[in-house]
Amino acid sequence: MAHIVIIGAGLGGMPMAYEMQEQLRQGDRLTVVGSGPNFHFVPSNPWVAVRWRKREEIEFPAATYLGKKGIAFNGSGAKRVHPEKNQVELGDGAVLDYDYLVIATGPKLAFDEIEGFGPEGHTQSVCHVDHAERAALAWDAFVKEPGPIVVGAVQGASCFGPAYEFAFIMETDLRRRKLRDRVPMTFVTSEPYIGHLGLGGVGDSKSMLESAMRDKHIKWICNAKVTRIEAGTMHVTEHDEEGKPKKEHALPFRYSMMLPAFKGIDAVFGIEGLPTRAGSS
């Protein structure tokens, strides 16, 4: 009978596993491959970054709960997919043969595309719970010595909602701490307008988000390309509607969280016919 392999144990892979398990025939097998032992509820990462939630409140061991449904789990990650062999090479050196493959990994985060970008550079991230924990440590230090915040999403980003969410979360946390008046906030985004969300807007998202940001005294720069990031300074080129450079900005910050562009994970990157030209699956 068939062996179904699902790569990814996150918001895509876990629901897929439970739904697929209900469709299995007698003798079919189902295996989930995750990167690490735990499922993380990614939408709660922004809360972890300001300590509204603890890590242990948004994660659980995947194998324990999948096992209750008879679903196998390997947490060593997928090293490479070999579609010509119907095999997945795993991080622990094992190889899984499959009859059907579901790729639900989420992205590789392209921090390397901009100098000084990301948790290994000068900005924070809420894309992974590990990043959120590091962002929380930076937040602890920031609230002791507050200053300007720059938040948003860089060029090539395809997921903008968490940037808006985190901007409002930080704004709320600062008000609760009686620090808001000491923290200028600027939202920097590659979107052509506030509330575009990479979707051409959703309903009244433009007017609603612009109104909310004015109400919270959050300035914004749209059509923005982040060219490089130094300790305490983000260099941004603002473009006009025709895509031509319009204005150069050197934005000071003491805390910054910017969402990156997404790429396909290494396990599928460059496989002809599987990912897009940009590398996403």
Asked if the structure places residue 68 within a domain, the reply is: yes
Here the CATH number for the domain that contains residue 60 is 3.50.50.60
Its domain, for residue 155, covers: 109-262
Question: Residue 29 domain-assigned?
Answer: yes
Number of domains making up the chain: 2
Q: Residue 72: which of 12, 9, 25 has the closest Cα?
A: 9
Instruction: Report how far residue 207's alpha carbon sits from residue 77's, in angstroms, rounded to the nearest whole number.
Output: 42
User: Do 77 and 114 belong together in one domain?
Assistant: no
> Could you tell me the pTM of the whole model?
0.92
Instruction: Indicate whether 118 and 249 sit together in one domain.
Output: yes
Residue 14 lies in a domain: yes
169 and 53 in a common domain: no
Question: What stretches of 190-252 adopt beta strand conformation (E)?
Answer: 218-221, 224-230, 233-239, 245-252
Q: In what helix (H) or strand (E) does residue 30 lie, and over which residues does it extend?
A: strand 29-33
Residue ending a domain, among 107, 132, 158, is: 107
Same domain, 157 and 251: yes
Residue where a domain stops, chosen among 88, 107, 126:
107
The reply to whether 125 and 28 lie within a common domain is no
Q: Are residues 82 and 151 in the same domain?
A: no
Sequential pLDDT tens for the chain (281 residues): 899 999 999 999 999 999 999 999 999 999 999 999 999 999 999 999 999 999 999 999 999 999 999 999 999 999 999 999 999 999 999 999 999 999 999 899 999 999 999 999 999 999 999 999 999 999 999 999 999 999 999 999 999 999 999 999 999 999 999 999 999 999 999 999 999 999 998 999 999 999 999 999 999 999 999 999 999 999 999 999 988 999 999 999 999 999 999 998 999 988 877 765 555 54
